[in-house]
Amino acid sequence: MNDFSPLTAALVFVTYVVVDVLYAAYIIAVGERRAVRAAALSAVIYGLLAYGIVTYSRNILYLAPLAAGAFLGTYITVRWKHG
């Protein structure tokens, strides 16, 4: 297991906040049948997800900031959507 880096943990956290916000935008784009927008969002989302997977496969401790980022990203998106 590699050493734990607070900077990497922060990057994983922010990455997964962004992933969840983008995922909400992706769902909206699919619902509106905006194919190019949905496809572009999907490509970005999968790239960001891959970063997280590579990171936590090297050190399982990065799952904590990943989960916290996913939680916050969903929370922010739902609160923003429902004002």
Q: What pLDDT is stored for residue 61 in this prediction?
A: 95
* Global model pTM greater than 0.85: yes
Q: Read off the pLDDT of residues 18-76 as tens digits, 9 standing for 90 and up.
A: 999 999 999 989 999 999 999 999 999 999 999 999 998 999 999 999 999 999 999 99
Q: Is residue 44 part of a domain?
A: yes
Q: What pLDDT is stored for residue 80 in this prediction?
A: 84
Q: What pLDDT is stored for residue 69 in this prediction?
A: 97
Q: Is the dihedral of CA 20, 22, 28, 30 positive or negative?
A: negative
Could you give the CA distance from residue 68 to residue 49 in angstroms, rounded to a whole number?
14
What average pLDDT is seen over the chain? 93
| Residue 60 structural domain | 6-81
Pick from 24, 10, 20: nearest CA to 70: 20
If DSSP codes are grouped into helix, strand and coil, which group holds residue 2?
Answer: coil
Q: What pLDDT is stored for residue 1 in this prediction?
A: 64
- Other C-beta atoms closer than 10 Å to the C-beta of 12 total 23
- Other C-beta atoms closer than 10 Å to the C-beta of 75 total 12
Q: Is residue 1 part of a domain?
A: no
Q: Is residue 49 part of a domain?
A: yes
Per the structure, the count of domains in the chain is: 1
